């Protein structure tokens, strides 16, 4: 759908593509809350090594369900995507761990799944302690895909003091399932996934509702953070994203919202991420 032809032409013409010089660190970040250490990937822009006194903004980039911290470096068709965006926009890009189905929440039922605390306290503290970052909400942006899109909007809605902007790509922005038309098999499978994180939805629908981004729109309105949300029209999550957009239009919350061709795929996210960086620091 996008103009790969032009890129190709540029290549054939011998025009230099962006030369990638970014450095990729894999770091271990301990969680006292979860008594466990997870790895994270940190991409430093090429300029980082040269500008020894400069402090850099940080983009926190979250992965989706069934994924891990390294996804954004290994799953995109262009394996240098994140590095080239770091270079282009002079951003540090941090990809922390969120496990296969944590939804970046502090689980009320499971002390070993406390990813809200991990991301908002432990990861930020470790990154700010190890790199020349702008140690302030003004220097932090958070975004992610699918479960990570929910995570980014959820954490920024609840911690507006920590981030200056937030985004979601193909976000799974509603945790509730009892208001959807699922087959019994799908409903059972979802219930099984959620049980160790939020318990039983049938017994505690309010827990699922109150932790869903779709119900945080008034909070987001009060926070006033710049927001950027997108979804592919062939993505099974498009209705949820449209709903969030309409609620944000309804309550007059400023936000960028985009629908694009595409589905829940890495091709889509590879295409979507650069606009995100435009949004963050302007092309």
Would you tell me which residues interact with a copy of itself (CB under 8 A)?
A: 1-3, 5-7, 9-10, 13-15, 47, 51, 54-57, 85, 88, 90, 134, 138-139, 141, 164-165, 176, 179-181, 205, 209, 218, 221-222, 226, 233, 239, 243, 245-247, 249-261, 274-275, 277-283
Q: Which is nearer to a copy of itself, 57 or 67 (CB)?
A: 57
Q: How far is the CB of 3 from a copy of itself (least distance, A)?
A: 6
Q: Which is nearer to a copy of itself, 40 or 46 (CB)?
A: 46
**Rounded least distance, CB 258 to a copy of itself, Å:** 4
Distance CA 63, CA 166 (A): 14
Identify the CA nearest to 151 among candidates 182, 179, 123, 132. 123
- Smallest gap, in angstroms, from Cβ of residue 89 to a copy of itself? 8
Shortest Å, Cβ 134 to a copy of itself: 6
- Output 35 or 218, the one with its CB closest to a copy of itself: 218
The minimum distance between CB 29 and a copy of itself, in angstroms, equals: 24
Provide the angle, in degrees to the nearest 10, between the axes of the packed helices 266-281 and 81-89.
10
Nearer Cβ to a copy of itself (47/117): 47
Question: Shortest gap between Cβ of 95 and a copy of itself (angstroms)?
Answer: 19
Tell me the C-alpha distance between 169 and 267, whole Å: 12
Q: Please identify, using beta-carbon distances, which residue of 63 and 276 lies nearer to a copy of itself.
A: 276
Q: Which one, 28 or 206, has the nearer CB to a copy of itself?
A: 206
CB 43 → a copy of itself: shortest distance, Å?
A: 16
User: By C-beta, is 108 or 261 nearer to a copy of itself?
Assistant: 261
CA distances from 164 to 38, 87, 159, 224, 283 (A): 25, 21, 10, 10, 18
- 110 versus 215: smaller Cβ distance to a copy of itself: 215
CB of 274 to a copy of itself, least distance (A): 4
């Amino acid at each position: 759908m996008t103009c790969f032809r032009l890129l190709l032409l540029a290549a054939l013409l011998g025009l230099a593509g962006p030369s990638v010089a970014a450095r990729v660190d894999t770091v271990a970040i301990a969680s006292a809350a979860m008594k466990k250490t997870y790895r994270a990937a940190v991409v430093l822009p090429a300029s980082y090594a040269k500008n020894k006194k400069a402090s850099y903004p940080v983009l926190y980039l979250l992965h989706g369900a069934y994924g891990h911290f390294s996804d954004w470096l290994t799953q995109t068709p262009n394996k240098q995507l994140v590095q080239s965006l770091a270079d282009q926009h002079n951003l540090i890009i941090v990809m922390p761990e969120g496990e296969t189905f944590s939804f970046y929440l502090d689980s009320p039922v499971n002390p070993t799944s406390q990813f809200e605390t991990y991301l908002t306290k432990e990861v930020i503290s470790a990154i700010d302690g190890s790199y020349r970052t702008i140690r302030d909400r003004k220097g932090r942006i958070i975004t992610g895909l699918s479960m990570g899109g929910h995570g980014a909007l959820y954490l920024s809605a609840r911690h507006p003091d920590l981030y200056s902007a937030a985004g979601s790509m193909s976000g799974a922005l509603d945790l509730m399932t009892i208001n959807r038309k699922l087959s019994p098999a799908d409903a059972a499978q979802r219930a099984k996934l959620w049980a160790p994180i939020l318990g039983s939805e049938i017994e505690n629908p309010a827990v699922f509702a109150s932790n869903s981004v779709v119900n945080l729109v008034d909070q987001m309105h009060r926070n006033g953070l710049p927001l950027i949300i997108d979804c592919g029209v062939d993505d099974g999550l498009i209705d949820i994203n449209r709903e969030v957009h309409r609620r944000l239009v309804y309550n007059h919350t400023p936000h960028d919202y985009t629908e694009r061709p595409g589905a829940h795929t890495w091709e889509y996210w590879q295409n979507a991420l650069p606009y995100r960086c435009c949004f963050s620091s302007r092309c």
